[in-house]
Amino acid sequence: MEERVNEVPMLTPDHVPSPVVAPEQMAAVDSSPSVMRPIPGSRMFEIRDALAVYRRANPDGTMFDASQGDGGASLPGVSGEVLERAAELQREHGTGYDKPFGTDMFRRAVVEDYWGLDPRTGWGPGNVIACQGGRDALEKVYRAMLFLGHGRLGDFLVVSRVPWISYNWGPYAVGANVLRAPGEEAAAWELTPEGIAACVELAGSLGDRKVAGVVITSPDNPTGRTLTAERQLELAVSAFRAGVPFVIFDWIYNRVTDNEPHDISGFLGAMDTADRERCIFLDGITKSLGASNIRNAHLLASEPVVGFIQSRASHAVIPSFHSQAVAIAAYRMGFGLAARGIVEPTNRSRARLAELLEERGIRHILGKGYYAFIDVGHWLDRAGLADSAALGSILAERHGLAIVPGVYFSEFGRRWIRFSYALPPETTAGAADRLFTALDTL
């Protein structure tokens, strides 16, 4: 996408202020910051504080952290071999500025070594943007959806009924409102075509707003819900037909599976050209490689979206080469091999946890990725607890077990907890046993 050069209509004397853009191109005066609610900080830090209570009372006690989503902390993380090769790439590359999209080397590695993208899709290296982690990528996507979609702030981003915490607030921070779509608990709050259509209708009744984009996550955080490619395609097409300009596919956990990872070539090939240009894909190494603190993700999108993001990144966040180098090294090695230290134990833990939950007859959602979503409503009622936040404090402070209360994600998850199994299988089994023991004491 060619960047437009804005020009002021005429030169002004030295003593007169000079706007950068012409009056008709100026951002409109918008008073919404004066009425927007403060964005709450993440409550994840409360979990660590609660564990500290247990540690003080039980200095020699064993603690289990089934709350985290960081394989670099709970599993081996990025291998030394990958890190050493990344360091060599950094030395070879130097430390000068790179492009706002990253580097050509990274783009080729993503397309050729990671995705094996079929050229017949019409997409290639020019459709890749390197980002400084998933949150950086998402913030860039939100702006692209708002500006390139209906061309206005204040429109909606549609997410699932129980979304990742930052999907509630990340869009809001850049001027997008958020709608949690209808969804049934029995179906793991899965998006539906009918739910997306209902969001579009409701948006129009709230000050003539529109839906700028829909988020489809698979595997999902927090529920672990996993959707087939066919179902994701159906949801995307239904969104486009309802007038939604963009859909983002958050696939950051798609490699953490004992099935085949997503096939982006097949997915794009199943779409017509017009719909393909409205799709944005997010993936990266923070989860599947255990590289949370290295901060590398990438976007695949149409050239207009890439051009929009690239021009703004030139004035904002340009991704570091080191983060790209780690990804390049892992992709060139063969990503299945590079990520084996995260994916294999997590897959074994998932199988073990499924057995334990089935043995106890506990209702749960367990797809792929890092997380199980567990229904603890029975125990909340028995103990007279209002929601899973109260249970989370009890589990951490009294039993040395950290989980994430489902109510942290939305009120619709108030009777559930998120249990991370991105752990060695024996640790997952120990954490599950601690959970069952604690529930039995309520």
Which CATH number belongs to the domain containing residue 382 in this structure? 3.90.1150.10
- Rounded-to-integer distance, Cα 25 and Cα 292, Å: 39
Could you tell me if 223 and 360 lie in one domain? no
Please report the pLDDT score of residue 10 as a whole number: 62
Q: How far is CA 267 from CA 149, 175, 186, 229, 262, in A?
A: 22, 30, 27, 7, 8
Please report the pLDDT score of residue 1 as a whole number: 47
Could you tell me if 420 and 315 lie in one domain? no
Report pLDDT digits (tens) over 261-277: 999 999 999 999 999 99
Which CATH number belongs to the domain containing residue 275 in this structure? 3.40.640.10
Report pLDDT digits (tens) over 211-259: 999 999 999 999 999 999 999 999 999 999 999 999 999 999 999 999 9
Residue 33 lies in a domain: no
> Residue 427 corresponds to which amino acid?
T
Residue 306 lies in a domain: yes
- Rounded-to-integer distance, Cα 53 and Cα 50, Å: 5
Backbone angles phi, psi at 38, to 5 degrees: -60, 140
Could you tell me if 309 and 406 lie in one domain? no
Please report the pLDDT score of residue 224 as a whole number: 97
Could you tell me if 213 and 352 lie in one domain? no
Task: Say if residues 277 and 265 touch (Cβ distance below 8 Å).
Answer: no
Contacts with 74 (C-beta within 8 Å, 6 or more apart), sequence order: 65, 68, 420, 422, 423, 427
Could you tell me if 120 and 248 lie in one domain? yes
Could you tell me if 291 and 380 lie in one domain? no
At which of 296, 322, 338 does a domain end? Answer: 338
At which of 338, 363, 396 does a domain end? Answer: 338
Report pLDDT digits (tens) over 344-358: 999 999 999 999 999
Could you tell me if 165 and 56 lie in one domain? no
Angle at 276 between CA 273 and CA 280, to 5 degrees: 160
Residue 302 lies in a domain: yes
Give first-to-last CA distance, the chain, whole Å: 60
Mark the ranges of the chain whose per-residue pLDDT is less than 70: 1-10
Could you tell me if 229 and 261 lie in one domain? yes
Please report the pLDDT score of residue 46 as a whole number: 78
Residue 96 lies in a domain: yes
Could you tell me if 240 and 381 lie in one domain? no
Could you tell me if 70 and 144 lie in one domain? no
Residue 346 lies in a domain: yes
Residue 388 lies in a domain: yes
Could you tell me if 104 and 213 lie in one domain? yes
- Rounded-to-integer distance, Cα 334 and Cα 112, Å: 11
Residue 163 lies in a domain: yes
At which of 338, 368, 395 does a domain end? Answer: 338
Strand partners, 156: 177, 211
Could you tell me if 308 and 230 lie in one domain? yes
Q: Tell me how many domains the chain contains.
A: 2
Beta strands in 166-304 (DSSP E): 177-180, 211-217, 246-250, 279-284, 297-300
Mean residue pLDDT of the chain comes to 95
Query: Which structural domain range is residue 69 located in?
Result: 44-77+339-440
Please report the pLDDT score of residue 14 as a whole number: 83
Residue 170 lies in a domain: yes
Task: Say if residues 423 and 345 touch (Cβ distance below 8 Å).
Answer: yes
